[in-house]
Amino acid sequence: MSYASDPAAPPSRARGTLLLALLFLAYMLSFLDRQIIALMVDPIKRDLGLDDLQFSLLHGLGFGVFFALAGLPIAIAADRVSRTRIIAAGVAGWSVATSLCGLAQSFATLFLCRVGVGVGEAALAPAAYSLIADSFDRRRLPLAMAVFSTGSTLGSGLALLAGGELLAALGRLARPSGSWAAAFEPWQLAFILAGLPGFALAALVLLLREPPRPRATGVVWRGQIKAGFGHMRANLRLYGGLTACITFTTALSSGFIMWFPALLMRSHGLAVEEAGREFGIRFAVFATLGVLAGGWCVGWLQARIGQRAYCRFIAAAVAIAGTAYALAGAAHGTAGALAWVALAIFATQSLAGVAIAALQIVTPPGIRAQCSAVFLLSVNLLGYGLGAPLVAAAGKLVFAGAAPLGPALMLVALLLAPLALASIMLAARPFAGARLHVPAAA
């Protein structure tokens, strides 16, 4: 069964901008709540009696796997019912779960709370991608997706930068015996506070007015699920290659985001607030610049070489990122490690908006959320799910020693980057000849 639809004219620029702004804030908050745990490695391990592998499961299996698994059924619903209501429910849900992380007293309870964060955040991306693709034309879509994707970079950077300062401040905070705060460790208070802003944002999202969905032709409501999988199966090299490339790249990036602050503390002697500040500033600045530069560059290239611009840009960015990540892990000096990781972050994050825009323009509107969820299922299940545990396993099994993180990070970069590059080369030819489903600029 095939699926066809005619692109509809996007709504007014003002409405599209308002929608994009609120979705950006939601995405930023989701990454803040997701990544703040990266600064809590040692205190959580100490208080709950965990080892590195158990802690990596909180970031990988606990969050990433359930985030991925919940995405598909939520996305199928998002192709049929109100996308803004789905997003609002997800924001409220992950905010509750983030605050509940602060009440955890064991690995099992913290694991379950991280599962809740993952399930709540699964509601955001597929529905947001669909909303944005219906709100911008073909020329403006890469930059719009890039702006949305900067929410991930600023949220992660804020988690590292402000999270480190918050943990240090909470550690110095006077907590008189008998007060409610005295019952909690600083990392627990940080979780509780991080979850609170989401409730106000969920209410604002409910006020958004959705853009109209294009009418589909050649398929009825009950056939949409089958049509979505049929469309992906008929274009397997395109979807498979693009998905595999971003999955490998995400595994590499998430492993570094999870373990690089610990590397700065363990191997370079930085305190928690110093590691958070040094890595957080670089992540916020270079990731944001990378996302925006990627969206602008592909928009510029697309006007000159057509849709081939997407895969060519992705291949170049992957090659740069893999090399820089490997050198960051191998660096002996703190300045060198930070310089190489800044370049790697810029290159990796330049793919954020570009890859999602690429997926949207070749996917019919009525199955965008569903196809996005299948894409995210792989990216999050294998990318976020395996990135951090892969580094931990490499350090424990391959580089058993006093400070195995640097060599382990280098090995993971040298393994994953070539796989990502080969995958996007597989997708390049079918992508260049694919039909486009986003209207051209007026």
For the chain, the residue count is 442
Question: What is the span of the domain harbouring residue 268?
Answer: 10-212+224-432
Rounded distance between C-alpha atoms, residue 33 and residue 97, angstroms = 9
- In 10 A of CB 292, how many CB atoms? 20
Is 318 contained in some domain? yes
Let me know if residue 320 belongs to a domain.
yes
Whether residue 5 is contained in a domain is answered as no
Instruction: Look at residue 346 in the predicted model and tell me its pLDDT.
Output: 95
**CB contact at 8 A, 423 and 241:** yes
Instruction: Give the integer Cα–Cα distance in Å for 90 and 256.
Output: 27
Q: Cβ distance 430 to 236 under 8 Å?
A: no
Q: How far is CA 387 from CA 17, 77, 200, 382, in A?
A: 34, 29, 32, 7
Q: How many structural domains are present in the chain?
A: 1
Q: Letter for the amino acid at 31?
A: F
Question: Which CATH number belongs to the domain containing residue 235 in this structure?
Answer: 1.20.1250.20
Q: Which of 371, 343, 344 is nearest to 358 (CA)?
A: 371
pLDDT value at position 219? Answer: 46
Closest CA to 26 of 106, 107, 132, 108: 132
Query: Which residues, at least 6 apart from 286, have a Cβ–Cβ distance to it below 8 Å?
Result: 342, 343, 345, 346, 349
Three-state DSSP state, 178: coil
Q: Is residue 2 part of a domain?
A: no
Asked whether the beta carbons of 120 and 95 are under 8 A apart, the reply is yes
Report the interhelical angle of 13-35 vs 141-172 (nearest 10°).
40
Q: Does residue 315 form part of some domain?
A: yes
What does the DSSP 8-state code read for residue 174? -
Q: Looking at this protein, which amino acid is placed at residue 126? A: P
Residue 442 domain-assigned (yes or no): no
- SS3 state at 196: coil
Q: Is residue 142 part of a domain?
A: yes
307-to-182, 280, 367 alpha-carbon distances in Å:
58, 34, 21
Structure tokens at 277: 């500040």
Q: Which two tokens stand for residue 198?
A: 């989401």
Report residues of the chain scoring pLDDT below 70: 1-12, 59-61, 174-181, 213-224, 399-404, 437-442
Please give the angle made by the CA atoms of 294, 296 and 302, to the nearest 5 degrees: 95
- Decide if 440 is inside a domain: no
**CB contact at 8 A, 355 and 247:** no
